[in-house]
Amino acid sequence: MSEDYTVPSQTSIGHVHLKVSDLQRSLDFYCGLLGFEITTTYGDGAAFISAGGYHHHIGLNTWHSKDGPPAPKNSAGLFHTAIRYPDRKDLAEILQRLLDEEYPLTGTSDHGVSEALYLDDPDNNGVELYWDRPKEQWPHHEDGSINMYTRPLDIEDLLTEGK
């Protein structure tokens, strides 16, 4: 590559498209539990879902994966899909919903720049639900670089935010 290139700062990740084994089971998780809305479907093999009426944040399809097994954990591929909530109160509300529904979490973390909940969808695809702290609150190293870390999340404190 001949020239250095930097992606424009306003660039964002638009959507993720997941291969799933059972479309309805995935819709039950992403729409029924997490609250996304279906924007459109393609026959009985794909659905597109969003938050707030966007064309789609998540695509789900069974085109090459219907009734298939989950991808092996120890192979290359997607580690997790990260879903960013607007603020801490919203993260607290989805945490309470997951607890009320007894949906298992695989972990929780305070990363300094964000607070996160981790779980698996029905096909064992990793899902991170998180909120970003305001940029001015992000911790930094002495050299000015961002100090992202993984520490225990204070779940009780987070839950008080939702009340």
**End residue of a domain, out of 45, 66, 87:** 66
Domain region containing 51: 14-66
Of all residues in the chain, the percent with pLDDT exceeding 70 is 99
What are the backbone angles phi and psi of residue 98, rounded to the nearest 5°?
-60, -40
Local confidence band at 162 (pLDDT 50, 70, 90 cut-offs):
confident
Domain assignment present for 74: no
Question: pLDDT tens digit string along 43-56?
Answer: 999 999 999 999 99
pTM for the structure as a whole = 0.94
- Please return the burial class of 158, using the count of CB atoms within 10 Å of its CB with bins 0-12, 13-18 and 19+: buried
Domain assignment present for 72: no
Local confidence band at 1 (pLDDT 50, 70, 90 cut-offs):
low
Structure tokens at 88: 């801490």
160 and 87 in a single domain? The answer is yes
Averaged over 64-73, what is the pLDDT? 94
Structure tokens at 129: 């639900």
**For residue 101, what is the domain's CATH number?**
3.10.180.10
Closest alpha carbon to 149 in 110, 95, 108, 115: 110
